[in-house]
């Protein structure tokens, strides 16, 4: 349920309505909208609560919310969410390119990759310091040493950095180094982790779980929003279907669907979405045409030598060519690159 305050309602009047909501046993989320303040009621209030709030003189109207995700919904916030991460605007007119290798494999190769994606036109540098892998024998990442290397790459290139956090115990140390924290597909429903990230003053990118519905994905974002973190990015990265030719089935239709349901920015990861570097350019163009606000693209100077996900990584030259191709599609849909 959403409470829309009267135009010009004072802080005292808003506070009175918040206290009234809490007296019914519900939590309340205050959004300073323009030109009216909006209050989101967390829970499932009934008609008696609605009636009690609508008679208050400072309340314009009370709107029942038909969706389980309240704070992430367009019903709660009509305008799209736009924020900055490391000096880069997210969710605005510009299509944001996040690029870099899957993993931080060492100082020299990562710095080389960072300089290559910077030259190719990336806005944000990606890399995995902690690597959750299907096999316990696979490369697990350099952990804090990897974070230090990423921070050095940021100093050299000027690019903000993003990396994945794998559990709540690593949140503090990851937040100390990076500009954006990533929640991987395997952790999309790690609710303890999501609650922890909801209290961190860093933007968070949430990848869609490999078998998650769109509603489950948005409910994961709701955990962060309800715990106070409003700088959330949703990232489609492919879902598991019966198809085996590609690594996953990239759900391009999720982009317009989610943008209709939610005010949050939506990115697409065509690298994990297909698992094949030859598919990355066409799926990147399709994602931008569908309305994506940004792309996550794996780029490696020498994919054959990559410790993980080399098959889906572009070489720097291909990445530069892709950016040039994206520009035309971005202009066609009224965006800039």
pLDDT number for residue 149: 97
Whether 93 and 219 map to the same domain: the answer is yes
- Three-state SS at 260: helix
Whether 91 and 165 map to the same domain: the answer is yes
Whether 156 and 40 map to the same domain: the answer is no
- Three-state SS at 314: strand
pLDDT number for residue 136: 76
Q: Per-residue pLDDT tens for 281-330?
A: 999 999 999 999 999 999 999 999 988 889 999 999 999 999 999 999 99
Minimum mean pLDDT among 53-67, 198-212, 240-254: which range?
53-67
Domain that holds residue 53: 2-63
Whether 212 and 305 map to the same domain: the answer is yes
Whether 44 and 153 map to the same domain: the answer is no
Q: Which of 257, 314, 243, 256 is nearest to 282 (CA)?
A: 314
Q: Which of 207, 200, 191, 263 is nearest to 228 (CA)?
A: 200
Whether 134 and 259 map to the same domain: the answer is yes
Whether 87 and 156 map to the same domain: the answer is yes
Number of domains into which the chain is organized: 2
Q: Which of 219, 246, 279 is nearest to 69 (CA)?
A: 219
Q: Per-residue pLDDT tens for 46-65?
A: 888 999 999 999 999 998 88
**What is the number of other CB atoms lying within 10 angstroms of the CB of residue 67?**
16
**Domain containing 167 — which CATH number?**
3.20.20.70
**Domain containing 35 — which CATH number?**
3.30.70.1140
- Three-state SS at 59: strand
In a domain, 69, yes or no: no
Whether 193 and 243 map to the same domain: the answer is yes
Whether 180 and 278 map to the same domain: the answer is yes
Whether 109 and 190 map to the same domain: the answer is yes
Mean pLDDT across the stretch 98-115?
95
Whether 114 and 164 map to the same domain: the answer is yes
Q: How far is CA 67 from CA 105, 175, 193, 265, in A?
A: 43, 31, 23, 18
Mean pLDDT across the stretch 179-205?
97
Q: What percent of the chain has pLDDT over 70?
A: 97
Q: Per-residue pLDDT tens for 262-285?
A: 999 999 999 999 999 999 999 999
d(CA 100, CA 308): 13
How much is the pTM? 0.89
Whether 91 and 56 map to the same domain: the answer is no
- Three-state SS at 228: coil
Q: Per-residue pLDDT tens for 116-166?
A: 999 999 999 999 998 776 777 676 678 899 999 999 999 999 999 999 999
């Amino acid at each position: 349920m959403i409470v829309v305050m009267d135009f010009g309602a004072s802080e005292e009047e808003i506070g009175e309505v918040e206290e009234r909501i809490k007296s019914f046993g519900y939590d309340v989320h205050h959004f300073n909208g323009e030109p009216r303040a909006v209050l989101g009621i967390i829970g499932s209030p009934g008609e008696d609560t609605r009636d009690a709030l609508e008679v208050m003189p400072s309340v314009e109207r009370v709107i029942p919310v038909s969706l389980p995700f309240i704070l992430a919904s367009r019903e709660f916030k009509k305008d799209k969410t736009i924020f900055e991460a490391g000096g880069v605007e997210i969710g605005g007119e510009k299509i944001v390119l996040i690029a870099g290798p899957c993993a931080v494999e060492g100082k020299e190769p990562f710095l080389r990759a960072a300089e290559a994606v910077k030259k190719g036109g990336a806005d944000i540098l990606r890399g995995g310091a902690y690597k959750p892998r299907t096999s316990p024998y696979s490369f697990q990442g350099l952990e804090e040493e990897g974070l230090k290397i990423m921070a050095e790459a940021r100093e050299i290139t000027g690019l903000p950095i993003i990396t994945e956090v794998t559990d709540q115990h690593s949140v503090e140390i990851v937040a100390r180094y990076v500009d954006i924290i990533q929640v991987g597909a395997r952790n999309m429903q790690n609710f303890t982790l999501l609650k922890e990230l909801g209290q961190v003053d860093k933007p968070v990118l949430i990848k869609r779980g490999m078998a998650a519905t769109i509603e489950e994905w948005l409910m994961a974002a709701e955990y962060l929003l309800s715990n106070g973190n409003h700088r959330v990015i949703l990232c489609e990265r492919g879902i598991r279907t019966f198809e085996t030719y590609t690594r996953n089935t990239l759900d391009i239709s999720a982009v317009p669907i989610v943008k209709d349901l939610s005010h949050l920015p939506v990115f697409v990861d065509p690298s994990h979405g297909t698992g094949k570097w030859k598919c990355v350019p066409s799926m990147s163009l399709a994602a931008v045409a569908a309305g994506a606000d940004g792309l996550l693209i794996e780029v490696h100077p020498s994919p054959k030598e990559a410790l993980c996900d080399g098959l889906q990584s572009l070489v720097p030259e291909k990445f530069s060519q892709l950016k040039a191709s994206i520009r035309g599609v971005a202009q066609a849909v009224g965006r800039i690159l």
